[in-house]
Amino acid sequence: MRSWFMAVLVYALAMDAITLTRQLVDIESITGDEAAVGNYLYGELCRIGYQTRRMAVEENRFNVYATSPEQPHPAVVFSTHMDTVPPFIPSSEDATRIFGRGSCDAKGIIAAQIAAAERLRRDGIYVGLLFVVGEERDSLGAEVANEYAANQRPQSCKYLINGEPTENRIALASKGTLRVEVTASGRMAHSAYPELGESAIDKLLDALTRLRAMPLPSDPDVGPCTLNIGLIEGGRAPNVIPDYAHADLLYRLVGPSQDLRRQILATAGDSVKIEFPLELPFLRFRTVDGLPTMIAAFTTDVPKLTNWGEPLLIGPGSIHVAHTEGEFIEKKQLAEAIDLYCAIAKKL
């Protein structure tokens, strides 16, 4: 009789995770505008009996942190982010998949973590739930959560199980991020007399050409450091010699950044200004025996959550469809993630 009841309970939690995923996807929460989804999660977690608090970040932005009344200082916390990249895409589903912005990155993960926490609670195991803002841009929510952990609560949390789309494989490591801003200045002139001006765009293009040709480090287990030139802007009009040009670059790190920074500065040259506005370090993670593994080529909030215990990284969904117009999560993976989160928490 008990096995039949547990089977029904597991099925109900999986179905609830599907419903909750769609409800969350249908709440627009592009980075900077997470209040509506945060309020929804706050209300739902209060409704099912969690001690839930809004953790202020800035203006109307806040993280959501929830614990069970039976254990206000849990040793294990499940965490992921509430924000998404643009544009907003409402939810839909077919027999096997849930579609929409955030379905795998990371609203399906939120649903799986809540369902897992509920199943664990019925077994007398109490975990925390931490859902943060700003992961897709600057990890500001994670920074605030880290300050909260340092100042507002006992250091009881031993393990942070962070959720990102890893196809339910546990990550051995994640690449870091180094953002680079390249700015060139020039002098405006009539384009019929280029000798009277100084083209900022020419300077920028020359620097970017050198940076693209620059050899990058590689790790035998993790793979190569990579470069993406994500944004280029500059100039005034086709018939004006441009006095300004700017590019935003992003390197995916496979180790410390000091040597790479020096190499970028030397290669770019003195004709441009180089700034490094953001770095998230390369990390290796704790693993769990018996689970398939992967290397995350992307960066997560984990480097900003150092006060929340030893990190693990695992979640349903594929990073290959995250940030695309066809983003989706497999319903089967969503259900499997609930089992995995429960099993990992029990083992820890």
Catalytic amino acids?
135
Q: Are 27 and 110 in contact (CB under 8 A)?
A: no
DSSP string, 120-149: HHHTT---EEEEES-TTTT-HHHHHHHHHH
Alpha-carbon distance 231 to 279, whole Å? 18
Helix or strand or coil: residue 324? coil
Element (H, E) at 225: none
Alpha-carbon distance 133 to 150, whole Å? 18
State the Cα torsion 103-106-111-112 to the nearest 10°: 110
> Which burial class, exposed, middle or buried, applies to 230 when counting CB atoms under 10 A from its CB (0-12, 13-18, 19+)?
exposed
Query: Taking Cα atoms as reference points, which of 137, 182, 196 lies closest to residue 274?
Result: 182
Q: How open is the CA angle 343-344-346, to the nearest 5 degrees?
A: 65
Judge if the upstream peptide bond of residue 106 is cis by omega within 30 degrees of 0. Answer: yes
Q: Are 90 and 70 in contact (CB under 8 A)?
A: no
Alpha-carbon distance 98 to 15, whole Å? 12
Q: Are 288 and 170 in contact (CB under 8 A)?
A: yes
**155 phi and psi angles, rounded to 5 deg:** -80, 60
Q: Are 62 and 133 in contact (CB under 8 A)?
A: yes
CA distances (Å), 144 to each of 4, 148, 150, 241, in order?
Answer: 44, 6, 10, 44
